[in-house]
């Protein structure tokens, strides 16, 4: 079995993180959160190409940069990080693209939304219900998951997915 190249994986994670940050310029408000579907697309791409650890690190770095650049809110942390972890673990366990996309939706749209509630109430001082962020998080993650799914299924159909995964693993 060939050992993967951590420098190559780190470089790809950096590029995907930069894509997530740049993609946050294409965000839109839903209730009191900013929806950034590109972040969710990046979470799924990281899951498929790099694995759950790099996906989680990329989601954290993108959330941090988005907050430092005033392109996101603190709610980006639980939403993107939980989603990245769930879809990364889903892909690692199943190697199924559709299940990975569903994992991102459940991870961000349900679990990440619930994890955002303490941040909203304790840190941001908002008085909201525990389920208040599910609709905006679901809107964002479904959009990003559809985009990622379309890209990955097209790559799989053309044979490019296996080639790209092999290049990352070298």
Cα dihedral sign for 150, 50, 82, 62?
negative
CA distances from 32 to 67, 107, 120, 159 (A): 15, 20, 10, 41
Q: What are phi and psi of 95, to 5 degrees?
A: 60, 30
Are the CB atoms for 109 and 134 separated by under 8 Å?
yes
Q: pLDDT tens string for the chain (170 positions)?
A: 456 688 999 999 999 999 999 998 887 776 666 677 899 999 999 999 999 999 999 999 999 999 999 988 888 899 899 999 999 999 999 999 999 999 999 999 999 999 998 888 888 778 887 788 898 899 889 999 999 999 999 999 999 999 999 988 87
Q: Which CATH number fits domain 6-22+33-169: 3.40.50.10490, 3.40.309.10, 2.40.30.30, 1.10.1760.20?
A: 1.10.1760.20
Q: What is the pLDDT of residues 105-126, one digit of tens each?
A: 999 999 999 999 888 888 877 8
Question: Whole-prediction pTM value?
Answer: 0.91
Q: Where are the domains of the chain?
A: 6-22+33-169
């Amino acid at each position: 079995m060939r050992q993967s190249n951590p420098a190559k994986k780190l470089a790809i994670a950096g590029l995907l993180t930069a894509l997530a940050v740049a993609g946050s310029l294409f965000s839109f408000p839903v209730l009191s959160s900013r929806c950034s579907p590109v972040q969710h697309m990046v979470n799924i791409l990281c899951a498929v190409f790099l694995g759950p650890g790099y996906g989680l690190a990329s989601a954290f770095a993108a959330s941090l940069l988005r907050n430092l650049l005033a392109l996101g809110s603190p709610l980006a942390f639980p939403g993107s990080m939980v989603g990245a972890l769930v879809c990364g673990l889903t892909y690692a366990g199943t190697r199924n693209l559709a299940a990975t996309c569903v994992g991102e939706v459940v991870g961000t749209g349900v679990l990440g939304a619930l994890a955002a509630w303490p941040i909203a109430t304790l840190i941001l001082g908002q008085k909201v219900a525990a389920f208040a962020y599910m609709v905006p998080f679901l809107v964002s993650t479904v959009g990003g998951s559809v985009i990622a799914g379309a890209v990955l299924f097209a790559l799989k159909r053309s044979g490019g997915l296996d080639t790209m995964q092999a290049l990352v693993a070298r």
